[in-house]
Structure formats: C-alpha cells, structure tokens
Structure 1
Amino acid sequence: MATMDSNTPLQLVNWELAAASAAKLTPPGPKLSAREVQAVVENLRELADLSVEHVHRITGLEAARDLRDSELIIVDRASWAKANTQSFKTLMAPAIGHLVETRAEQLKAANAALGGAVTGAQMGAILAFLASKVLGQYDPFVASSRGPGGRLMLVAPNIVSVERELNVEPADFRLWVCLHEQTHRVQFAAAPWLRDHMMEHISELTVGLADKAEGIAERLTNALKSLPSKGGHTGRENDDDGVPPSDGGILSLLQEPEDKARLSHLTAVMSLLEGHANVVMDAVDSSIVPTVKTIRRRFNARGKTRGPVEKFIRRLLGLDAKMRQYSDGARFVRAVVDAVGMEGFNRVWERAENLPTEKEIHAPREWITRMGL
C-alpha cells in the first residue's frame, strides 16, 4: 500500500498515463510512406515560413519580422497529445497546488494515486479524440527550445486527412492553414504580456473551480439528465440529429458569479485571437491561394457531415463554443478594421487594458469609443 510522508508529492493527474493513453487510443492517420511523410513535413515547413510574410503584410504587425523566441514543429497525432499533456499540466498546476495545500488530509497518497490514474486515463481519452481533429495549435504556455515564446505545432496527418477528404489542392490548403496558425504565433510575439495575462486568469478560474470540486459531479449528472432520450424532447431547440445545443461545454456547468466574470474575459480574449487569425486567413485571394474559394466552401461544409456521437462529444468539450468564437471574433475584427483601419485595430496588442470585453466583441463600436479612435 502506498504511504505518504512530507517528501511524497501528490499526483492528482497521472500525466504520463494520460500521454500513453492518448497515444494508444488515437486512431491511425492516413497511410503514407516514409518518403511521403518526409515530403509533407518539408512542404509544411516551407509553407509555414512563406505564410509569415503574408501575415506581416495583412496585419502590419512588426513582430512578424522576428519570431526567434518561439519554434515551429511538425508533429503526428501522438506527439501532439503528449505535448498537450505538458500544456495541461502547466495550466492546471495552480489548481492542483491549491488542492494539495487546502485538502492535504483528504488527499491521502493511495487515494491520490488511484484518482490520478483515473483522471490520467480520462485526460488521455479526451486528448485522443482531439488528436485526430486538430490541424494546428500555437501553445504559448510551454516554453520552446528556443526561448519563452512557445511553440507552433502543425499536425501533419490531420492536415493530409482533411485535404484528401475535401479533395482540394494540398499546397493551397496547407498554406491556408499555416496562415491561421502563424497568425497566433505573431499575436503573442506582438503582445509579449499576453501569455502571463492569460495564465493569471486561467489560474484564477481553475483554482476557483477546484474549491467547488464537490459540486462538479452533481452538475454534470444533471446536465446529462437534461439530454433527450431517443425521440424525447427537452423544450430546447435541437439539431436534426437530436443533440441539444450547448453554450460552453463542461465549463458552462461550473459557473458561479465570479467564475462567469473570469470565463467571460477569457472567452473575449479567445474570440479575439481566433477571429483575428480567421480574418488573416480569409484576407488572401486567388493570387496567393489559387483555390481559396473552393477550400473555404468545402471546409465550412464539413461540420454538416458529423455524426451525433461526435457532435455530442464536441459539445461536451465545448468545441462548438470555440467555433462560435471564430465567427464572433472575426465579425469584431472586421468591424473595427472597417471603421478605423488595421493600425487602429492593432491598439489591441499594446496592453491588457485594450483587450475587448465579451460585450464589446458583440458591440465593436463600444470598443472603438473606449479606445478613443
């Protein structure tokens, strides 16, 4: 039996198990020969480098000229999942530390080890699902090998899988994806304070949720009970697959007033980041990406082909809310740029006080007025 002394650290999430579980559960990607894999990797690196010039031209952000403190890595699904266990470990460290400090008596070593294995396996299952969906990700929270600036990951098998599914020109689709992801890298280079700002607010939110941990299971159970049985009805508007819409996934179950304020701010920031990247992505024309109109049309239609199980999982994890962040944020960015130009919009990267509120995301004129533009 495990014992605990003052030198025994509690592991409330077994991160090694999470990474191993994710790698085991992640479905295989498209079949490629070793030569094809090498060609895809080289092509993605070339297009990722090329996209930075376009990001600089479209955004006017001088940070695009120097991205030396971050790095670009091309990964497979298992490597993406493993990398994200490091990210989650970093983001959850304040909450876990808080639990250890405030509930040391309840968190005995044996129980913590058992609970850590369970949560590790659960985390692995979530990452396995996401590992086959994510095309790219800029992670600002784990320092790169080149400095504190984070790392941009392009998930090669997923990019190849989607370009085949959509039957689009591979080089065009890859450049289109790189434009979005490299914009995120440039955003954090343009606003070097943004990483710590987000970390602070994420820490406050997760620590606050940790204090309410006992109520999480009950709230989740009630939420699941509200789902319609086959042929049932909840009084809410459903999609044609019978899955009810969800506003924020699991996080929406946990909101006390103080949590709502924290989550509202993070939602606004994420909407800004994702919307800005989408605006850059959509600013290209056929002179840069010849088949861009076809790519946009087919990519936007992909969601209609998802089955009910995948749709439910996406909503449970809040991924549909993330998709709304793309469109809400893009409308905000376009409205501001149309009114005051890109230079006026770029005031948003100067300091934390210039970030839009969630209300301003939906009312861009209020942000413009507050900035004195």
Structure 2
Amino acid sequence: MGLYRSVRAVSEASGSGPIDWEAVAEASKAGTDSGTLDISTAEREGYATDVRDARDRVRSVSGIDFDLPDRVQIINRHHWIDNNIETFRRVMTPLEDQVGMFPSAARVINSGSMTVALSFLARNVLGQYDPLLLADGDGADDHALYFVYPNIAHVADSLAADDDRFRRWIAFHEVTHAAEFGAAPWLSDHLESRMEDAVEKLAAGDIDREMLGELDTTMTAVEGYAELLMDRAFDEEYQDLREEIERRRQGRGPVQTLIRRVLGLNMKRRQYERGKDFFDAVADARDIEFAGKVWERPENLPTDAEIDAPEQWIRRMAE
C-alpha cells in the first residue's frame, strides 16, 4: 500500500514548477517507514548529555566558543523528510521556470527523482547539523540539530554496537559541525552564495564547473576539520565503529550503490578522506589552533591544490 500511494502521488504531480513538492513530500513518506520514536526518558536524557559533553569537549580542544541550537530534536524518518524538503525546495527555486517542452511529463520525472533521493536519505541519515542555508531568517532558530532515532537504533543493532557509545559518537560528530559554523560566521553566506550561483547557472543551461569545484573544496574543508575535532575531542577510541560503518557501506547491494553514486555520496566520502588527510597533516606539523585559521576568513580556505599539498597552505597562513 505504501508503494502504491508513493507511485500515485508522483504520477499525479501538478503545479506550475518543475517539481511538485507536495507530491514529493507525500510520496517520500508513503514509501518510507517512519520508524519508531518509542524512546525512554533515560535515552532522551542520554542524547542531551552527549550533546552537552560534546560541546564542552570540542570547545576545550579547539578553542572555539560556539552555540548549539536551543533544542535537540530526536525525530523519525518522516520528520526528517519534512525538515529537509524545505531545504531542497529553497535550493531548487532558481529552476522553477525550467520545466521543458513537456511540462507534465517533466514534472512527474523530476518529482519522482526527488522522491527517490529523499526516501533514500531518510532511511540512511543518522544525525544532522543543519545550518538552515537559504532560510528566510524570520526570527526563528538559525540552525538545528537532528538525530534520526530509528536509523541510529537500526545501525547500532546491525553493527552489534553498544547503543550508548554509538549514540555518543554520532552526537560528537554533529557537534563538530556546529563548531565550524560557530567559528566562521561567514561560512553560511559563503556557501549560500556559491550554491545560488551554481543553481542559477544550471537553470540557464550552463554548468559552472569552477563554482562546483570551489563548493567541493569548501565542503572538503568542512568535513575534514570535523574529523580532526572528532579525533581530538571524542573521549574514547572509535576506530572500530568507523571500520564497521565502512564494511556496512561496502556491503550495500547494486541498487543502493547506484543511488549513492547518483546522489554524490561517494564524492562525500572522498571529501571526508581528503579533508581528514589535509587537517591531520596541518595539526601534526603545527597544532589544532593553527588548523583553525581556516575559519578566520573565506580567503583562508585551502585551494584544491593545497588540499593535496598541505605544506603550501601552512606556508601561506604563516606569511
């Protein structure tokens, strides 16, 4: 029944834009089990404690004074879809007039593609620090922190990992991203402007490879610095968890592997690896405080060439 409702919602996509977002929301949730939110009071307190501990540890290790969202949200998969569909919609706004020669058919195809993407991500995302890029800034919280409880519980069980330890690992990782955006108040605007420019060029039928490359390099720095903080701040060894996650990723079937490739998740994995190697080299050659210079201003971001040659970035920052 869920699959039928999902297909029907997409097939009935309507409106004037290239994507019927209401149909995408309905279809994504119809085709995705929401998962349980049957969580004990002790577990909820555990999340809050882990986030507070992560904030204190990351502040201590990095020297960055940053704030967290007022509320830590423990959500199910449908909540995640609702929270993120608005982000996708904001990013895709410049494409609203680009439906094509056969608008009804194109709208169904586009809506179906977005449904597949959101459904896949909703089943796989564990935690998320959301800087709410391109949001209106109407006085609401300007960032958010989500934990997708059914996904965390499922993965911890599939890895035979200790639930509390696995939850704490996810909490620390997401808090490191909060530290980055706290250290660099300009980072949200920097990413927003690059995203808007790239999508507007795409809407005009042009692929700005230079802009996309710059975005990739920036996200490589974001992911790499988060890994550096994780390694220094997490209060116990976690290499076994990282290895288990990697084995789980490699064990995916061909359909999941294809979807990950289409969504660019393999590129995200490369961002982790390149960024981690870069910041490990910088911290080893100097220290973690020197590595934090990356967030002082946009000009301090490493270039793509410097990511693979961190000594060049070190020399530039030391000048």
TM normalised by structure 1 equals 0.74
Q: Percent identity?
A: 34
Listed as ranges, the matches of 1:23-172 within 5 Å are 23-27=29-33, 29=35, 34=38, 36=39, 39-63=42-66, 66-67=67-68, 71-96=71-96, 100=97, 112=103, 115-140=106-131, 141=133, 142=135, 147=140, 149-172=142-165
Q: Decide whether aligned partners of structure 1 residues 21 and 72 sit closer, same or farther in structure 2, where only a CA change above 3 A counts.
A: same
The aligned counterpart of 1:282 is 231
Contact 1:52–1:182 under 8 Å retained in 2: yes
Contact 1:143–1:149 under 8 Å retained in 2: no
The aligned counterpart of 1:370 is 316
Matched, 1:177 2:126: no
The aligned counterpart of 1:13 is 19
Deviation at 1:191, TM superposition (A): 0.9
The aligned counterpart of 2:288 is 342
Contact 2:18–2:95 under 8 Å retained in 1: no
Deviation at 1:117, TM superposition (A): 4.5
SS state at 2:147 partner: strand
- The AA in structure 1 aligned to 2:84 is N
SS state at 1:356 partner: coil
How many Å separate the matches in 1 of 2:304 and 2:30?
39
Cα-to-partner distance string for 1:128-180 (whole Å, 9 max, x where unaligned): 01111111122211478974532122111111111111111111111111111
Contact 1:137–1:154 under 8 Å retained in 2: yes
Q: Decide whether aligned partners of structure 1 residues 51 and 146 sit closer, same or farther in structure 2, where only a CA change above 3 A counts.
A: farther
Contact 1:143–1:150 under 8 Å retained in 2: no
Q: CA RMSD in A?
A: 2.5
The aligned counterpart of 1:238 is none
Contact 1:328–1:362 under 8 Å retained in 2: yes
Cα-to-partner distance string for 1:168-206 (whole Å, 9 max, x where unaligned): 111111111111111111211211111111011011111
Deviation at 1:362, TM superposition (A): 1.2
How many Å separate the matches in 2 of 1:126 and 1:12?
16
How many Å separate the matches in 2 of 1:370 and 1:128?
43
The aligned counterpart of 1:270 is 219
The aligned counterpart of 1:202 is 195
Deviation at 1:336, TM superposition (A): 1.0
How many Å separate the matches in 2 of 1:45 and 1:11?
41
The aligned counterpart of 2:302 is 356
Q: Decide whether aligned partners of structure 1 residues 71 and 95 sit closer, same or farther in structure 2, where only a CA change above 3 A counts.
A: farther
Which moved further from structure 2: 44-53 or 170-179?
44-53
SS state at 1:153 partner: strand
Larger-Rg structure:
1
Deviation at 1:356, TM superposition (A): 1.1
How many Å separate the matches in 1 of 2:94 and 2:196?
6
Runs of 4+ in 1 over 6 A off after TM superposition: 143-146
Cα-to-partner distance string for 1:279-305 (whole Å, 9 max, x where unaligned): 2223356xx23x634323322322221
Q: Decide whether aligned partners of structure 1 residues 340 and 143 sit closer, same or farther in structure 2, where only a CA change above 3 A counts.
A: farther
Gaps of 5+ in 1: 1-8, 214-255
Contact 1:144–1:150 under 8 Å retained in 2: no
- The AA in structure 2 aligned to 1:274 is E
How many Å separate the matches in 2 of 1:92 and 1:176?
32
Q: Decide whether aligned partners of structure 1 residues 307 and 144 sit closer, same or farther in structure 2, where only a CA change above 3 A counts.
A: farther
SS state at 1:181 partner: helix
TM normalised by structure 2 equals 0.86
- The AA in structure 2 aligned to 1:278 is E
- The AA in structure 2 aligned to 1:18 is V
Q: Decide whether aligned partners of structure 1 residues 37 and 18 sit closer, same or farther in structure 2, where only a CA change above 3 A counts.
A: farther
Deviation at 1:67, TM superposition (A): 3.1
Q: Decide whether aligned partners of structure 1 residues 125 and 275 sit closer, same or farther in structure 2, where only a CA change above 3 A counts.
A: same
How many Å separate the matches in 2 of 1:170 and 1:342?
30
- The AA in structure 2 aligned to 1:275 is G
- The AA in structure 1 aligned to 2:242 is R
How many Å separate the matches in 1 of 2:182 and 2:263?
29
Q: Decide whether aligned partners of structure 1 residues 262 and 178 sit closer, same or farther in structure 2, where only a CA change above 3 A counts.
A: same
How many Å separate the matches in 2 of 1:368 and 1:10?
51
SS state at 2:318 partner: coil
The aligned counterpart of 2:182 is 189
Contact 2:37–2:149 under 8 Å retained in 1: no
The aligned counterpart of 1:261 is 210
Q: How many residues align?
A: 303
